[in-house]
Every structure is written in structure tokens, then in C-alpha cells.
Structure 1
Amino acid sequence: MHQEWSLRGVWQCLPDKENILENGIENKIVYAPEIHPWKEIVVPSHWQKAGFEQHQGAMWYRRTFLAPNKQENLGYHLHFGGVDYFSEVWLNGMYLGAHEGDFDPFAFSVTGFLRFGKENELIVKVVSAIDKKPERKEIAKGGLYHWDCLPVRQEGLSDCPEVPSAASAHYPNPLLNPGGIWQDVTLVAKPVVHIERLRITPHLRDEYTKANIYVDIEVRNETGEEQDIELRVKIAPHNFPKEGREDIAQVSATFLRPGSLNHTTRLTIQNPALWWSWDLGHPHLYTATVEVKMDGTIIDSSSEVFGIREITRDEKWQFRLNGERIFIKGNNYLSDQFLSLMTASQYEQDIQMMLDAYMNMTRLFAHAEKPEFYRLCDEKGIMIFQDLPFQWGYRSDGEFITRAADVARRYVEMLYNHPSVVLWCCHSESRLHDYNKLDNVLMETVKSIDVTRPIHKNSVLIDRGELPAFFATWEEFAKYVPNHLSVNWVGWYWGKITDAEFYNPMFITEYGTQSLPDEESLKKFIVEEKLWPLDMEAWRMRGFQNNIYTKMMGEYPTTLGELVERTQEYQVQFYKEHTEALRRKKYNNVNGIMQFHFVNTWPAIDWAIVDYYRRPKKAYYAVVHAFAPLQLSFAGHVERLENALRITMEAWVVNDYRRELEGHEISYRLLASDGTVIEERAVLAPLITPDSSRCFDQAVLDLPLTEEVYRIEGDLRDKEGNIIARNTKILFPRINEAEVETAAHVNAGL
């Protein structure tokens, strides 16, 4: 019913760095474009990946195309899948309108402006410039523009991730702002009465045995006259067999005045097949199809895939999916700074690596991915912690806040039907000047659209190194932070890896350390003469935090291979110690952990556990082991007494499965540094309850004052004697809690 003509291919373009080619009513670039020296560019693409790598500012695009012959009862629309960032459009010299935002599709009605059966000229102006005040930004692009995992300029950092002052050289100042027509452009012919949008809201009732499905239908009438229509809504299984289920359908008659009509219908499904994350069940999906009839003839139809599920989050960040509590094991993800480069197959690769690492949630860091990513998460059963595109500081005036609210509204509407999206986070690492102004408006905007998902105001509130106003003393803040801090950089920006046992946060949105990619990957983006001996300026331009490295790992080794090994092993140790410690506290205040971050978004040296070329680092496999659904885990420490060493050991089992396990046994041993077995223990685990974390054995040994380096190793065996889990643990000296360095000690705000 819809006909499409793609306009992708070779266009013409003209860089306009200073944004001066447009000149009011004498806009020659539109009305006399042939006088300009146009160049070729491929659409869709970001211009930096299409031959204009260094360009920032305005870029003009031009394309001529042959329009089809006009057909009766059809309206013609120019559709843009995505333009980054500000855009204005002219067709045959007529101004169609403007759009802000890099993430969402938009369209213009062009029936009155097309030259049917003839050549037409399309001109698009795109503006994507470097923001002059990164702490008071004027564009809502979030992590795709301003993030310390992107190309930034900053000097060495002393303690904290950044100093929030645009005047400070320590602050990450963006070096690159992607720009261009990065998604398809199409000419679309639609019936003059057609469906504009479907919004589907499932509501579960009666202990999940019944679901009301509310289908909001926006219908557009371009005939200029009132029309009587019939709407038929049908719901059918999408990715599972019907198994005797009948399609649910409803027909309603209504009328359309000229313009748009919003019509809501309600259908009820008995015993619905629910959408689950992969670790709880099958991600059942349905298809809702809406047909528009006039005079008994179907004139238009539209379909949306959706899932039926209920997601809740309480004040302690305990998530429940369809009433089942779930411990979150996830990551932070941004696939590529230039999303035009991503393909469905690349998304499939990334998502499969997440599944292989037992992750049930991904946080899309202050941006939206391509539609293919959301479709795959819907189908694979991965939950999405969805940030809005706001990262760090923004202009705090009414004009920008009004624009930001419009961006937030379109953002939520675009992703509303995806069951995988389970939470909205309005702002990432908000600044104080935004917290009670911009963030309040974003929060209320999202609430007005979506009442079905939890909404979080911001991931972290960073202050200027001063005590946040809602704490009376730094001591009070220091007590609060270990329990509630939502970023856990213990062992990187503050503290030590061995402090892991002292942290008991409700939910961690970020934790990790930097490490180098392997030598093969490094050689792809750092030239040999700067790679080794290490050229600090070149390395820092790729994100390397040299001062944090020396603070945590000491002097540099003599070879590049040793440096790669050292940083990757440090990252492995970090994820092992922190992840296992936090999982032992499962539901004991800790309800979720999101490693930071999953994959490099450009060829860089940063916190990713998979490099830009999709080569897993050692830490990826450490996370795989630490996130395993059944884990044997050890805790303990060494304490020096007056005449002895006191060794404390604990053996734990963490079970994420929804089934109990019977007849298991833990065998573990304490070893000295030379491998000598000091103590062997075996303990029964007769019943491992579902979705649990439990200590099955504790032991305290007093040993002579000989050495202080000990480790534990052990196995978990099933009732047939098969090893189903194994692990090791280095025992560190006991730490005095009063000496543990927290975020408060380095003045990192919450």
C-alpha cells in the first residue's frame, strides 16, 4: 500500500565550516546552487567517514531525482531516517522545515511541491559543530558527542574522572562531532488516509493471567473532507507457535475530520505469553496489525511487534519482571561513535558476546542505537537500561530546556513499543546546575508519556568537589557513599581493588578499569614510532590515563607486550574481585551491577573489555566467569596477630537459576605461595536454593608467622561427582575499614 523510492547513493555536498553560505532572501545556495563547487558524497553516511574527516560546522547536501507520475488518492512524503544534528530541507526551492536531533526519523509532506514525472532538486543543510562550552552544551547528543570514551582533549587527571569546569584543561573537551545524513532518505507514497503511528501499551491483570492491550492509533486524513472509516486491530503471536491460541481482533467504526485523529482501542488476551529476559524464560513477542477500511476496502495497514510484560523497581533498586525478582548483570554499551557504520550482523555479534557473558541487561549510554539493535534485544531477551541523550553539563536556560523536553518526548515515543526497554534514565552524571532545573523537566516529560516503566532522574550527580548540600559533613557523606554510590571506581580513581568487600551499593551503573588492547589492535591506530617507546601525547589522545596507571600499577615495564599483559591482568583482577564480592551480596542491598564498558566506540585505550575490532580482552573472559549463573566463590583475608597469622576462609555458592540444586559438595584447600597444601576442607551443600547467595562454610586457622601470601582453590561437584564450578581466591591482608579510601576522600560527588 505504501510505495517507496530510495534516494540513497551519490549526492553532492558543499562544506560550509563557518555557516555563511545562506544569506537571507538571497540564499543563492538554494536558488542558484549551480554556481557553487559541489563535491561528491555518499548518502547515508556521516561525512567524517565519507571523505570529510576534519570537517565540522555546516554541510550542504544536494540531490536531483526523477519523481514518479502522480497517482490519485496518494500523498507523497519525503522521509529521513536520521540526520545528525540540525537539519533544514528545501525541495525545488520551497522550504519544507527543520529538525533537531540525530536519533529519530522525520518526514515532510511534499505532494504540493513535487514535479511529478520530472526532475526535482532536494537540498538539505546539516549543522554539526563543536560546542564551544562543553559544560554548558547546546546540543542533546549525549555519549555520541561528549564522553571520556570518545576523542577528547584533557590533561593528566589527579584523582577524579573529570573536573567539571570548561575552563579547566583537565576537563574532557570534545574533539569531534559526527555529522551528516546517516540514515536512508526515501520518497514515500501513502494513501491520503493513512496510519501515522501505533503505540501499544500492555497492562497485566489478575496475577498475570489476563492482559489488556491498549492500541493508540494516529490516523491522518489528507483528503480535505470528513471520512467514515473502519479500524480493524488484530493481535497474533510473532515468535512462538499459536498452540491453539486464536488471533485477537476488534473492529470499530469512526470518522475522520481533515487532519489527524487519535483513536484508542482495547483488546484482552487471556493467559498471555509473557516477554521474559533470556535467563527467566522466553521473550514472547506479538504482532499488532491495524487495517484502515473505507467503503469496505482496505486502504492502509501498519504493524508493530511488542511484548507483554510488567517491569517494576522499588526504592532499593530491586527489579521484578512479571513479578519475579531478578539480579541485574549487565554492561554499558555504545557501539560506535559513527552509528552509520553499524550493521545488523555487527549488532548480532555484540549481543551474542553479551549473552555468552550471561548478561541480562545493557545500558545504552546516553544515546539511542539503530532500530536493529532494539529488535535484536526484543528477540533475544536482553533488557535495556535506556539513557536519554544527556551527558554531563548543559545550558540551563528556558530556550534549551524547552528544546530538550521536545527531544525527550520524541525519544521516548520512538522506543515506546520495545519490551526490552525497561527503564528510562533522564541524565547521565548530571551537574548541580542541571539537577533541579533541566532534569526536573526531563523527568516530568517522560512521566507524562510513559507510566509503564521505572524512570530515574540521573545516573550520578557530580559536584564541583564541594560537599553536596544534602550532606551535613564529609563524614556523613563518606558513610553514605559505600552503600549507595552508583559508580564503583574502587581500584581506579580511588581506593584499591582489595577494598571490594567494603562496598555494598544498591545498584552499580558503572565499574571498571582501563586496559590496553592487544599489540595487533594497537598497531592499527598508533603508528609504530609513537607506539613504543611510549609517546605519551599520542597515547593520551587515545584515552590512556597515564597518571592513574602509575598510581595503581607503578613504573612502566621494558616492553609493550609486558605493558599490555600488566594492564589486562589488572583489569582481570578488578573484575574478579569486585564482581564476586558484589554477587555474594546478592539481594543483601546489592541488586545489580553494570560493568563499564563493553566495547570501544573508537580505536582507543580505555575501559572496554572488547576492543574496537571486536577482539575480547582477557577481562571479557573474567566477566564471563564472574557472571556465570552458578558460581563457587571464596572470601577471606590474612590477619597478623602478635605470634601468629590468622587465616579466615569462606566458601559461597551463588545460584542465579530458578531451580534448586541438591546433593552438591564443595571441596577446597588453602595453599602457600609455593603450592604447599596447608588445609583441605570438604563440606556438603545439600540444598542450593533458587536465585540465592549463601555461605556454606567458614573456617579460621592460626598459622606460624612465616609468610602472608596464601590462596584458596576449590571445586563444586554435583551428586554424580562431576565438577560444575571451580574458582580461586588470593587472600589479602585484612584491611582496617577506617583506612579505606572512598569517593568522599577524593571529593568525587554523588
Structure 2
Amino acid sequence: MSSWLLDGVWNAAEVRDEHRSNAIGPQLDHAEWREVNVPGHWADIEPSLTTDGPLTYRTTVNTPSVDEGRRRFLTFDGIAYHADVWLDGAYLGDTEGYFAPHTFDVTDLWRLSPDHVIAVEVHCPPTEPGSRRTITGVLQDPSGPLTPNPGGIWQSVHLIDTGPVRIDALRVLCQDATVERAHLKMYARLDSDRSCAADVQTLVDGTVVAEHRITVAAGHNDVAWRIDLPRPALWWPRDLGDQHLVNVDVVVSIDGHPSDTTHRRTGLREVAWDDWTCSINGERMFLKGANLMPVDALLGRASDEHMRQLMEDAVELGLDMLRVHGHIAPTTIYDTADELGLLLMQDFPLQGVQRRQVRPAAIRQAQQMVDLLGHHPSVISWWAHDEPVAKPADGSVDQRQTLGLAGRARELATRVQRAVRDQAPTWNRSVLDPLVRRAIEDVDPTRRCVPHSGVLPHLPLLDGTDAHLYIGWTDGPISLLPRESARFPRLFRFVSEFGAPAAPRSPQTVATLQEHHWPDADWERFAKLTGTERWQYDQSTPPHLFLDDAPWIDATEQHQSDVITAWVTHLRRIAYRPTGGFCVRALNDHAANSGWGVIDLHGNRRPAFEALKAACQPVIVTIDPLPETTLPGRRFSLAVHVSSDLRDDLDDAIVDVTITNTDSTQTQRFTGTIDANAATYIGTINTISPEAGDITISAVLNAGRFGSSTTSRTTVA
């Protein structure tokens, strides 16, 4: 199969009316046009050519003519977001959606001349207040940090020659797998220029495992079949076994001659869900995870090296899973996850409230997502829509908390308003999300699809989805966490967002903080840059308590570490009762002015990285937390637990507890067996606060090659 890569230097100019009449054809003076790199985003063009587009791209191509009996196709691997495409002035069609390839048949036009002009008019509407009209997810999040418009031809462009029948799409799904047998569910869409007989051959690791002859009509033809593989080598998550991968090739032949071939690499494994607890190949897992943000808000900037490093960082942290949050990532992310045994929960890039007009595009693009990613064994679930709710214009959900009785009354009123609002049906949640979920499940019955993320329990079933909870940030102090999880266990079945941001150290943000006399910084500009506001920090790290911005930034980083530690250790303590797993708010930042990630945009690790790593060790010891302050003579009964992700029990484990205060030091030792893949109750320690000073309780676990320690402290007021 012949192919030509068309990446390199193209010409571009802002769209003007006259372009539509002369810029699309072969005759044009490029004197006023700029040379730009394709692939790339227009935000990367220096000096700037446009902020929000639209932009017209042009390039000239000279290739051999199309041989008789062959066909030629022009493919764009990724354009953000809308595009109209011309060849030599002839209109080929339009595209919508940033992540799926778009292909045009150019066979007849290419035979007319050896020299050709490709012209592409690209639109990517800017982010606007209110409901959204593009399916770009977190790449254009109006509530997040300031990010550039992602518009442009951001992935490769190429020409491909095939025979009379082309494989337009290939979907490879592992339906089930055991050590005895695995079944692959295969689907192909064949594009034929004639009615004819075609032979479809399937190879697994170079061995032919299926052959069948079909009759295809001119146009698109849907073909489905199944493959039975005896005694397969299974693919396992990284802590449970090896990551065996198999190569699947589908070859379509006409009259004994190959017409087209397509390759997929997959793994044989079986995914099952029991409520919010996941099992892989029959092994139950407590999923420790984080949200994987785009490696860069401009995806075309992301290097393979940077993407692989992020995935290796996740392994170093001890994570089992990443949720690809609000975007479809470049293929390197999925290939690396397959190789490392990292599980992925994949978001469809619907985020926030969408306009009704997106419905047809959402259904089409959701199925394209499955075609693109369905063969990856690392992908264990789909998520249709992230937070399909609007924040009220009056700010009643996220507003400043006040102290005293008035503050408590205001907080109660806010909670009631939010609860009432969440019960009301909405077009996004009640119509769009079920349609998108059904579209995904129609083409992939092998995986679970969650209709929406971050939706509280609502009528008629009072059954919500995963939870986005910000105790320790905007939902109250971190000390509320044990109480709230006991009061509302349904909200803690799977917590897919929690944490607190650190103030970013980007030059823009620091300059904003230093613009006026501290603490009277330009907080309005700070909010626009970071997506966070001063009142939110006032609840945990009030700026006025610090001499300048530097110690305040340090304090926000420490608070981020403390919140992540408290959340992860608590969720592991209630593993399977009811929690099936978690996702920290962000593994990485996708913008320089974001502070949610434990890794910033440039790969630098925040202090929270080590905190998360410590909390995600295979075996950890935990103590019920003490309050920050207490009164003299108060009695405390604190439970000690050990959480283990290991597949085998740990015998003869020892936990030594030391209680230190101004009056005395006490020690207590617990011995016994730590249950596999569970949180084991060790015992309860009792103490009474002294008249003054601090109480420090530390626990140290010694279980052979596994060890852990923790400390809890309070001050007697």
C-alpha cells in the first residue's frame, strides 16, 4: 500500500470572503500568506496570526497518478474543530470533531493532474459563557484555568492508496477471556467502489484464525464476526500479572489480491463491575487512581517522551488507574497504558451544559471514540458526560462561607437549593446523556458506560453516579470527611474528584500576586488565570495570614498534600464498604496556571506527589484522625486499621502505637494477620487529653518487607 505523509510547511491566512473564491484553487499569490507548521495549533504560530480563527490552510502536493484499479484517499488524523476541505477548488466535504480521523476519496480528481492544491478552512469557536456548542471537553473549559484556543490541523495529514475495497473502520473488542478461551468481537466498515466478492482474512500474531468470503455493494458495508482463541495468554493490570499483547490484522482481498489491511494491537482480558467495584479476569480490585488531564491544553504540543513519563510517574505513585478526564488523548497514552498495565477510564469529551444542537454530533463522535480506542485492553469503562449541570448565576453553590449562626443558616439554604435543583430533570442529564450512553453501548457491549459524572442521587431511583466531593476545599474542612462518609455512604461508592489546588508558580500567576501590596493582589486576574478564587483559599490558607506570596504558595502546596493524604487513607480504610476506588482531582496540570495536579505542566513534582505516593503504598497503617484542637480532659477512642492491596495475607504483622503528651508516653503493640485486598481492623487505642500541650499518636507497621507509619496530632486549647 502506497502512502505519502503531507506534514511540513503549509501556508495559512485568516479567512476572508475572497478566500472562498480564489484561495481554494491552484492559482494564488502566497505573498500575503504565512508559512506554518502542520501538524500544529494556530496558537503556536509566531508571531500570532489569529487568536480564535478561522484560518485557511493551503499546501501543494505532487505525487504519482493513481494506478488503474486503485483508489486514493486524503486523511486528516485530527482537526480542531470544524473544517471545510477542497482539492483543486473542488469541495470535498466538511469535518466536525477534534479527535477522530476524517477521510475523503480523491481518486478521480487526482487522475486529472500530477500537481494539486489542498485547501482547508478551519473553525474552532472560542469558549463562551453559558451552554457549549463544541465537543471539546476540558480543552475549552470556561470554569478552568485560562487556556488558548486549540484550533488548527493538530495531527498528521496523509494520502493512502488502496484497492477497490477500503477498510474505513475496524473495531476489535475482547468480549470475555479465561485461561481456557477468549472471544473477540470484530466489526469492520468496508468502503467499496463497486459490487464484488471480497475475502476477509483475520490474523492474530501472524497466524490466520478466520477467513470468510462476503459480497459487498458499492458504498459502505458493515461486517461483523467473532473469533475464538483457545488457551490465550491473558492481559493483566500491572500488580496482578503480565501484560501480554496480541497483534490483530484484517486483510481484505479482491480476486486474490490484497485491497487493504488494518492493524490493531489488543490484549485478552475480561472486565466486570459489581456496583462500583471492578474485577479484571475475576480478580477484584480497589482502584487507586487520578484524573489524567491533557498533557498540554494544546494536544499537538505533547511529545511522546512527556506522555510516557507521565504514565511512568503514575506507576511510581502506586496508582492502578487513570481517568482520561474530559478529552481523548493522543495514541501514545493508550499504547503506553497497555504496555504498563495501567487501567484507564475514558471520558467522552462532553463537559458542562451542552446546547441541543450537539446531539447528532455527540452520538456520531461517541461511536468514533469506540472505533478509535475500543481495542485497548487498558480501557475498562466509558464516561459519557462530565458534570452536565450549570452553576447558578447567583453563585449560590460556590460562594464565600461566613462564620457564626448566619453562616450556618446560609450554608443550609445553599444545600437545600442545590438538592432541589439536582432533582429537576434537565435536557442534558435526562435526554442527551442517555442517548450518548446508548450510542456507546450499541457499539461496545463489553464495557460499562456511565451516563454522567458527578451527579448526585436524584429521582426517581435516587441513584447517583460517581461523586465529586471537595471536603478540604470548598465543601468544608477536611475534619468533616469521616463524618460525611458515615452519613452519606452512597456518595462514597466511587469518588472520582477530590483534593485542593496549590497556587501555581507560573510567571504569570506570580506576577499577578505581586502586582499590588500583599495581600491585596489582583485577585480578579488571578481567578481568570487559574480558575480559582481568593474566597476559596480563605477557608484553608487565608492570604492575609502570610507576609507575602511566597510562604502563602508554600502553604497551599502543604494543604494540597494534607488533603490528598487524608482522603486517600480514609477511602482505603473503607475499601469495598462501600468504596470501590477513587480518582485524585488531577495527576497533572494541562496549563501553566493550573495548580490541581501533583505534577505541573512542565513535569515538576509538587510536594503532593510524595504525599500521594506514600498514601498509595501497597500496605498502609491508619489511625482515626484527631481534631486540630481539643479541650482538657477529653476522651478519645481511635481505631487503627491496616489497608492492603496484596493478593495474599500478611501473617505475623506487628503494629506499634505510641501516645505522647506532656504528662506521659504510652505504647501499645498489636500483632496478627493482615487480610489480603482489604482493610483490616487492628484495634482501638484510648487516651485522655492533658491540661495543656499536644497529643501525638504514631503507629508503625512492620510486616516483613512491607512497612508503614502514620502520625496524628492535636493541641489542647
Q: How would you bin the TM-score normalised by the shorter chain?
A: 0.7 to 0.9
Distance 2:244 2:175 in 1: 15
1:48 paired residue number: 43
Q: Name 2:184's counterpart in structure 1.
A: 213
Aligned twin of 2:283: 324
Structure 2 residue corresponding to 1:506, chosen from 479, 487, 493? 493
Q: Structure 1, residues 133-179: CA drift from partner, whole Å, max 9, x if none?
A: x322111111111253331xxxxxxxxxxxxxxxxxxxxxxx74210
Of 333-342 and 250-259, more deviation after overlay is shown by 250-259
> Is 1:236 matched with 2:205?
yes
For the residues of structure 2 that align with 1:448 and 1:540, how far apart are their CA atoms? 42
Partner of 1:262: 222
> RMSD in angstroms over aligned alpha carbons?
2.8
The offset of 1:643, in angstroms, is 7.4
Please say if 1:516 is aligned against 2:503: yes
1:384 aligns with 2:344: yes
Residue number among 703, 706, 727 corresponding to 2:692 in the alignment = 706
Question: Deviation of residue 596 (structure 1)?
Answer: 0.5
Q: Which deviations, in whole Å up to 9, do the C-alpha atoms of 1:360-412 show, x marking residues without a partner?
A: 1111112100111111111111111111111111113xx43222222222222
Deviation track 1:53-97 (CA, whole Å, cap 9, x = no partner) reads 752131111111212233233211111010000001000010000
- Does the aligned pair in 2 maintain the 1:637–1:648 contact within 8 Å? no
CA distance 1:625–1:413, shift in 2 (3 Å): same
Whether 1:148 and 2:120 are equivalent positions in the alignment is no
Change (3 A) 1:727 1:131: closer
Other-structure match for 1:195: 167
Aligned runs of 1:456-467 on 2, under 5 Å?
456-461=450-455
Measured in 2, the distance between the counterparts of 1:41 and 1:84 equals 16
Aligned to 1:598, the other structure's residue is in SS state: coil
- Cα displacement (A) at 1:635: 1.5
The two structures have a TM-score, normalised by structure 2, of 0.87
What displacement does 1:123 show?
Answer: 0.6
CA offset at residue 180 of structure 1?
A: 0.3
CA displacement at 1:652 relative to structure 2: 1.4
> Aligned equivalents of 1:508 and 1:272: distance in 2?
34
Residue 535 of structure 2 corresponds to which residue in structure 1?
547
Post-superposition offset of 1:21 = 4.7
Q: 1:600 to 1:704 in 2, by over 3 A?
A: closer
Per-residue CA deviations over 1:34-54 (Å, capped at 9, x if unaligned) read 388222211110000122375
Q: Which residue of the partner structure matches residue 428 of structure 1?
A: 386
Give the 5 Å matches for 1:469-488: 470=459, 486-488=467-469
2-side partners of 1:264 and 1:121: how far apart?
A: 38
Once the two structures are superposed, residues 585-613 of structure 1 have per-residue CA deviations (whole angstroms, 9 ceiling, x without a partner) of 01111111100011111111432211111
- Secondary structure at the counterpart of residue 161 of structure 2: strand
Q: TM-score, normalised by structure 1?
A: 0.83
Q: CA–CA distance in 2 between the matches of 1:703 and 1:150?
A: 45
Partner in structure 2 of residue 689 of structure 1: 675
Paired-residue identity, %: 23
2:576 to 577, 583, 587: 587
Structure 2: gaps (5+ residues)? 390-425, 486-491
Note closer, same or farther for the CA distance 1:524–1:11 as it changes in structure 2 (3 Å cut). Answer: farther
Query: CA, structure 1 residues 434+220, in 2 after alignment: closer, same or farther (shift >3 Å)?
Result: closer
Q: Which residue matches 1:451?
A: 445
Amino acid paired to 1:108: F
Q: CA deviation at 1:636?
A: 4.5
Deviations 1:160-218 (A, max 9, x none): xxxxxxxxxxxxxxx7421000001111122223333322222326x652212232233
**1:559 offset after TM fit, Å?**
3.2
Is the 1:85–1:126 Cα contact (8 Å) retained in structure 2?
yes
Secondary structure class of the residue paired with 2:234: coil
Amino acid at match of 2:203: K
Q: How many angstroms does 1:509 deviate by?
A: 0.9
What are the superposed Cα offsets for residues 684-735 of structure 1, whole Å, 9 maximum, x if unpaired?
02x212101012121212354334x32222321135xx6722222235899x
Match of 1:240 in 2: none
Amino acid at match of 2:477: K
Separation (CA, whole Å) in 1 of partners of 2:523 and 2:473: 19
Looking at structure 1, the residues matched to 30 and 310 of structure 2 have their Cα atoms a distance apart, in angstroms, of 47
Q: How many residues align?
A: 668
Q: Deviations over 1:308-338 (max 9, x none)?
A: 22212233x1111122211111111222110
SS in 2 for 1:417: coil
> Do the aligned partners of 1:609 and 1:617 also contact (CA within 8 Å) in 2?
yes
2:513·2:549 contact (CA, 8 Å) conserved in 1?
no
Q: Distance in 2 between matches of 1:409 and 1:84?
A: 18
How is 1:307-322 mapped onto 2 (pairs within 5 angstroms)? 307-315=267-275, 317-322=276-281
* In the alignment, structure 1 residue 678 sits paired with structure 2 residue 665: yes
Mapped pair 1:497 → 2:484: no
CA pair 423-30 structure 1, distance change in 2 beyond 3 A: same
| Structure 1 equivalent of residue 99 of structure 2 | 103
Report what 2:63 is aligned to.
67
The equivalent position to 2:323 in structure 1, one of 363, 373, 382, is 363
1:96-144 deviation digits (Å, cap 9, x = unpaired) = 0001011111110101112566321111000012244x32211111111
Structure 2 equivalent of residue 530 of structure 1: 515
Distance in 2 separating the partners of 1:41 and 1:487: 41
User: Is the 2:631–2:689 contact (alpha carbons within 8 Å) kept by the matching residues of 1?
Assistant: no
Paired residues of 1:638 and 1:645 also in contact (CA < 8 A): no
* Distance (whole Å) between structure 2 residues aligned to residue 369 and residue 705 of structure 1: 57
Q: Which amino acid aligns with 1:693?
A: A
The structure-2 alpha-carbon separation of the partners of 1:443 and 1:228, relative to structure 1 and needing over 3 Å to count, comes to closer
Corresponding position of 1:168: none
1:415 aligns with 2:404: no
Quickly say closer, same or farther: Cα 1:605–1:292, change in 2 above 3 A: closer
DSSP 3-state at the match of 1:186? strand
Letter of the structure 2 residue corresponding to residue 10 of structure 1: V
- Provide the residue aligned with 1:465 in structure 2: none
2:701 and 2:597 map into 1 onto residues whose CA distance is 31
Could you tell me whether the CA contact under 8 Å between 2:63 and 2:114 is conserved in 1?
A: yes
Question: Deviation string for 1:442-501 (max 9, x for gaps)?
Answer: 122112111111111100238xxxxx97399xxxx9xx99xx870120121121011121
> What is the aligned partner in structure 1 of residue 11 from structure 2?
12
> 1:637–1:529: structure 2 CA closer, same or farther, 3 Å change rule?
closer
Give 1:284's aligned residue.
244
Counterpart of 2:713 in structure 1 is 730
Partner residue in 2 for 1:629: 618
Q: Deviations over 1:500-554 (max 9, x none)?
A: 2123310001001011245xx5479747963985443443232142111122222
Contact 1:526 1:538 in 2 (8 A): no
Distance 1:179 1:297 in 2: 41
State the one-letter code of the partner of 1:727: T
1:438 matched residue in structure 2: 432
The C-alpha deviation readout for 1:223-258, integer Å capped at 9, x for no partner, is x3x433332212139xxxxxxxxx462222333333
Determine the C-alpha separation between the residues in 2 that align with 1:304 and 1:637.
Answer: 53
Distance 2:459 2:66 in 1: 65
Distance 1:532 1:338, change over 3 A: farther
1:232 and 1:531 map into 2 onto residues whose CA distance is 70
Deviation at 1:671, TM superposition (A): 2.2
In the alignment, residue 514 of structure 1 is paired with which amino acid? P
